[in-house]
Structure 1
Amino acid sequence: MTGSTVPELVDRQAAVTPDAIALHHPGGTLTYAALKARSDELAAALAALGVRRETPVALQVPRSAEAVLLMLAVLKCGGFYVPLDPGHPDAHRARTIADSGARLVLAGTADLDSTVDTALPEAPLPGNPAYLVYTSGSTGTPKGVAATHEAVANLVTQPGLGIEPGDRVMQYAPLAFDASTFEIWGALARGATLAVAPPGALGTSDLLEFMERAEVSVAWLTAGLFHELVTAEKRLPAGLRLLFSGGDTVRADVVRQAAALAPETVLVNGYGPTECTTFATLQPGLGALAADGRSTMPIGRPLAGVAAHVLDDRLAPVPDGETGQLYVSGPNLARGYHARPGATAARFVAGPDGTRRYRTGDLVRRLPGGALEFRGRADRQVKIRGFRVEPGELEAVLGEHPDVRAAAAVGVPDEAGGSRLLAYVVPERDEADLSALRTWLAERVPAYLVPSSVLRLPALPLSPNGKVDVAALPVPGEPSAETGPAPVTPAEKLVAETWQAVLGVDAVGMDDNFFELGGDSLRMNRVAAELRRATGLPIALADLLLAETAGELARSLEEH
């Protein structure tokens, strides 16, 4: 099936089950027949604008049925879509558009004249790109990964994927995140219904409510969100048959909790860099594996048609049980990095038999039985809330600030088993005010690239060869309690105690800002869950995001 293209797979399904529901979204439903008819109309409109094979089309559309229709229409013209996250800063989106070469940027179907009757151009070939998504770049510039139709088809037609006609597959991943590839085309190529979540970030309580209301049976969650759903809400949605998780290390202790809460749900660890089109390996049956008390979960075996090579520094295979770097080969590999032949040649290398291999930078070992176990990174790359982050990109952006002479960034483990990003800056002048640096960064980079803490140093520690000595960078101390008035009222004390427990800090003042203390959206969600349990109030993540300080949050609880 890997000789197919995405439109062929979806249209083939529309011919088999035209009346089946393809999309379930906040505005209603759409059958497979209607999906085909509407996407054909939009494709004709795009063809009239000159979209052909290899034409990039940027989509600045929130998660919605409209976004899916536009994606499919672009693909039917032979073009490839470049999803833009509406939540990213304007400057970041502008850089993405410029780098992709997209001359057409769509904010919705209203931008197209679907009344035109233009013949569609040549259909895409399996080797043509289907989409271009951007990952963090170590030089400071994100790299566009061009995934082909063949790679997507190889993913979504996998015999062991488990998605069946009649399933409802949740679409919650950001469209600029390649997990959305699995959600959208994994559902529509296999006759399932794609259940599109409302746009924007949902707290775990709202996410559970949506999944149960939409009768979701298959879902993919980042490891961090999976951990939060289990530990904060202490349940999984009723009717969930298959739950994929990945994007970071899946904790064995949380898997054991999930298996106890929902023994009928099959838990799957999915591993794969963006360059490998969502998944390179899968490990189903996590619940049974975790029952033996193990501390880590394997990332599994390669997909059908995919090969995993565990190699040493001389590119020789290492014996089973020993650690080496993972190289992946097969039809799932992306074509390369858009307009970056040097970067492509450095990461997509030739094997002894001449086949392309992607050098992942991940260290693994092969376990008895053949499954792979993740052992860490061969470089500085980290995962922040499921997103791949090169600290060098943050360092490069920090270097553009007029008051920053030098900067370093590192990822460090957090108390939830994930990672958080720290920045160290050397100011140009002793009197430079760097208090607004995180706000300045938030206007230029996605939220996952904004560090949880920024530390001021007189100089960066250097190794004998003149490079930054990352190991010598100081560990940040806990935030001071001198930042504002102490909690007095019961609501203030509840907020302070909850923040202290979630953030792992010694004290919280009423003028403190959650995010400046190192918080993020996942930790904020944990706060919402704890406050719901303590007060019995229907507190949503959105309610907490409106309060800028601990004191404001306490006052909102008192007024609730």
Structure 2
Amino acid sequence: MEPTIYSRFKELVNNDPDHPAVIDERTCVTYAGLDRLVDTLISRFPSFIPARVGIVMDHSVEMVAALMAVIKSGAAFVAVEPDFPPGRLVTFLVENGVDFVITQEQHACILNDFNRLIIGSDIYVDPALHPLPDRSRADRPAYIIYSTTPDGYPLGVAVGNSQVTHFAEAFRQTYNISGDDIMLQFSACVMNIFIQEVFGALLNGAVVAIPSPQTRNDPEKLVKFIDDQYLTVISGFPYLMQELNAVAALPVTVRLLISSGDVLHAAAISHLLEQVPVYTTYGPPEATVSVTSYCCNTGLVLPDGTFPIGKPMNGTEIMILDDELREVPQGQEGEICLYGDGLADYYTGDHRADLKPFVTIGDGRRVFRTGDIGRQLSDGNYVYLHRKDSEVNILGKKVVTGEVERALRKSDEVEGCTVVHYPDEQGSAYLVAYVVPKTKSFRLSWVKNTMAQYLPAYMIPEFFVLLKSLPTDAAGVVNPLALPVVLKDGKTAI
């Protein structure tokens, strides 16, 4: 029988029950202890056999137990950060039809409209509780991760148990992950790198180490946490690599850095390359975390100062196709398209029909069109060039400018608008909003307050430019080349 996330985890519980599994700044739990916590949570589920379960929790031992409990119950978890704007959070949970939400007391008030399981840090684990049946199946979704359509509407990506176990095995083989490793859990749960940090570790016998939000947001405290907990593997977005690059020296236990979520600039890791192996990866949520891997220490720096994204690593293959879905010759630009075992099962949400990137090509293969433009180098490595649409990464998080524009238009202060992204001198993206005000009494504070009801802080543009009208081309479409460019030097601390 093909393994599931839980069955693979249970093997490790049986093999080494007393090995640490998850550490946070309050406590540590072993593999056996985490398994008992999983059964305890399932015994409290308000729905006997759920299909989808929301998780709105601070990152902690209890959150990881909740993820695994949902999977063991045969359901798929829908995890959302508690600091998501309430309207955005509720919409995503409602559109995915969660049976109930697992949360903590401090977040329960924003979930009054849902059936809730509220848990604390003092969960009583009954030693007399018998192990509950494992209802997980390899062909069922394990989680639904947040995404958006090109127009900025919420969308869920359903990823199966089998895709995650396949990825975890490829992750082990590529980076030699073992029980000797302690891996940092840094990313938000709405990002696919979160899956790598949790299940890339737990399905390979390693330890997941979770810093508090205060530690995560302070580089000095984060480095101390890495040192104190003897971390060996750090994965994160390029901006985290840039922060670590500014540190005098990494703790001696760190053996590996993995950058994901966006292209990696050589300048962001110049000091790190002297200390440890640094890899950059590529992969959308629809491909279960990372598709490719590239070692920067012995690699090529491209003319634009970035690294290639590497070669496929986890059973998902790459083709570069033209608009007619024909493979282009090596070296030519085209759309990065993926096929193989790692592809997601389907989309969820009210706007899933708006997005049809899965196609069948002539030989019958199911192919995912990423919307990314790239090419293949002569050595077989791939290069990411740019997006076809309005998607951009801000602080490692996916942002669709169409969604920002829709939030802007909700303000009574705005007559018209467009949002554009530019790179700063360090290559990091930032947003500029060009606004045609409705009245002369335009107040930016009112506009930002309205946007904050629908968008997290990182999606609100750094700069706002008032215009009498938006420049358009002959077809009446906004011409971005005619907009005044707002420059940023890239020196602002993240």
TM normalised by structure 1 equals: 0.80
Q: Could you tell me which residue of structure 1 aligns to residue 193 of structure 2?
A: 179
The 3-state SS of whatever aligns with 2:386 is strand
Q: Among residues 77, 81, 91, which one is paired with 1:81 in the alignment?
A: 77
What's 1:506 paired with? none
Note the 1:300-379 alignment, pairs <5 A: 300-339=310-349, 340-344=351-355, 346-379=356-389
Note the C-alpha offset of 1:296: 2.6
| Pairwise CA distance, 1:67 | 0.3
C-alpha distance after superposition, 1:465-506 (max 9, x if no partner): 12111222221378xxxxxxxxxxxxxxxxxxxxxx765xxx
Structure 1 residue corresponding to 2:140, chosen from 128, 135, 142: 128
Shift of residue 392, structure 1, vs aligned partner: 0.5
Paired position in structure 2 for 1:391: 401
- Are residues 75 and 431 of structure 1, via their aligned partners in 2, closer, same or farther at CA, if it must alter by over 3 Å? same
CA contact (8 A) 2:150 2:390 kept: no
Query: Equivalent residue for 2:48?
Result: 50
**Deviation for aligned residue 1:122:** 6.4
Offset at residue 190 of structure 1 (A) = 0.5
Report the CA distance between 1:430 and its aligned residue.
2.7
- Residue 220 of structure 2 aligns to a residue whose secondary structure is helix
- 8 Å CA contact 2:291–2:314 kept in 1: the answer is no
CA distance in 1, matches of 2:98, 2:65: 19
400, 404, 416: which one aligns with 2:410 = 400
Structure 1 stretches of 4+ moved >4 Å: 111-122, 290-294
Measured in 1, the distance between the counterparts of 2:389 and 2:190 equals 24
- The reply on whether 1:165 has 2:197 as its aligned counterpart is no
Alpha carbons 2:42, 2:70 under 8 Å: kept = yes
Give the deviation of 1:385 after TM superposition.
1.0
Q: Which residue does 1:240 correspond to in 2? A: 254
Letter in 1 for 2:161: H
Q: Distance in 2 between matches of 1:291 and 1:474?
A: 31
Partner of 2:210: 196
Cα shift at 1:287:
1.1
CA distance in 1, matches of 2:79, 2:340: 25
Question: What is the distance in 1 between the residues matched to 2:210 and 2:409?
Answer: 39
Measured in 1, the distance between the counterparts of 2:195 and 2:86 equals 24
| Aligned counterparts of 1:407 and 1:165: Cα–Cα separation in 2 | 52
Aligned to 1:273: 284
Instruction: For 1:17-36, list aligned pairs within 5 A.
Output: 17-36=16-35
CA shift for structure 1 position 320: 1.2
Q: Please identify which structure carries the higher helix content.
A: 1
What is the distance in 1 between the residues matched to 2:319 and 2:431?
A: 30
Q: Which one has a bigger Cα radius of gyration?
A: 1
Q: Deviations over 1:1-28 (max 9, x none)?
A: 9x32111111111111111111122122
> Where does residue 481 of structure 2 map in the other structure?
471
In 2, Cα distance between the equivalents of 1:292 and 1:224?
Answer: 19
Distance, in Å, in 1 between the alignment partners of 2:302 and 2:490 is 29
SS at match of 2:299: helix
Say whether the 8 Å CA contact 1:78–1:121 is kept in structure 2. no
Runs of 5+ in structure 2 lacking a partner? Answer: 105-117
Secondary structure of the residue aligned to 1:396 is helix
Q: Given the two structures, how large is their TM-score scaled by the length of structure 2?
A: 0.90
Identity, in percent, stands at 29
What corresponds to 1:104 in structure 2?
Answer: 100
- Aligned position for 2:109: none
Which residue is equivalent to 1:145? 157
State the distance in 1 between where 2:416 and 2:103 align.
38
Q: Is the 8 A contact 2:321 2:327 kept in 1?
A: yes
Aligned-CA RMSD value: 2.4
Q: Hey, what's the Cα distance between the residues in 1 that align with 2:300 and 2:97?
A: 47
Cα displacement string for residues 223-250 of structure 1 (whole angstroms, at most 9, x for unaligned residues): 11211220x3243332111110021110
Residues 371-397 of structure 1 deviation map (CA, whole Å, 9 limit, x = unaligned): 101111222211111111111011111
Shift of 1:121: 6.4
Matched residues in 2 for 1:198 and 1:164: separation? 25
In the alignment, the residues of structure 2 paired with residue 477 and residue 205 of structure 1 have an alpha-carbon distance, to the nearest angstrom, of 29
Separation in 1, partners of 2:74, 2:427? 42
- Distance in 2 (CA, whole Å) between partners of 1:114 and 1:103 is 24
**Conservation of the 8 A alpha-carbon contact between 1:25 and 1:65:** yes
The letter of the residue matching 1:318 is V
Residues of 1 paired with 2:253 and 2:383: CA distance?
30
Deviation, 1:209, is: 1.0
Relative distance call for 1:149 and 1:93 in structure 2 (3 A) is: same
Q: Is the 8 A contact 1:40 1:73 kept in 2?
A: yes
How far apart are 1:291 and its partner, in Å?
8.1
Describe the SS at the equivalent of 1:38.
helix
Query: CA offsets, 1:69-117, max 9 Å, x none?
Result: 0000011101111111122222221222222211412213627997697
Q: Post-superposition shift, 1:161?
A: 3.6
Aligned pairs, number: 474
Aligned match of 1:254 in 264, 268, 271?
A: 268
Seen in structure 2, the aligned counterparts of structure 1 residues 477 and 388 have a Cα distance that, compared at 3 Å, is closer
- Residue identity opposite 1:130 in structure 2: A
Matched, 1:410 2:420: yes
Q: Secondary structure at the match of 1:27?
A: coil
Q: 2:174 aligns to what SS in structure 1? A: coil
Does residue 424 (structure 1) correspond to residue 434 (structure 2)? The answer is: yes
CA distance in 2 between counterparts of 1:191 and 1:113 reads 25
Q: What pairs with 1:279-298 in structure 2 (closer than 5 Å)? A: 279-283=290-294, 285-289=295-299, 295-298=305-308
Alignment match, 2:113 = none
Contact 1:45–1:118 (Cα < 8 Å) also in 2: no
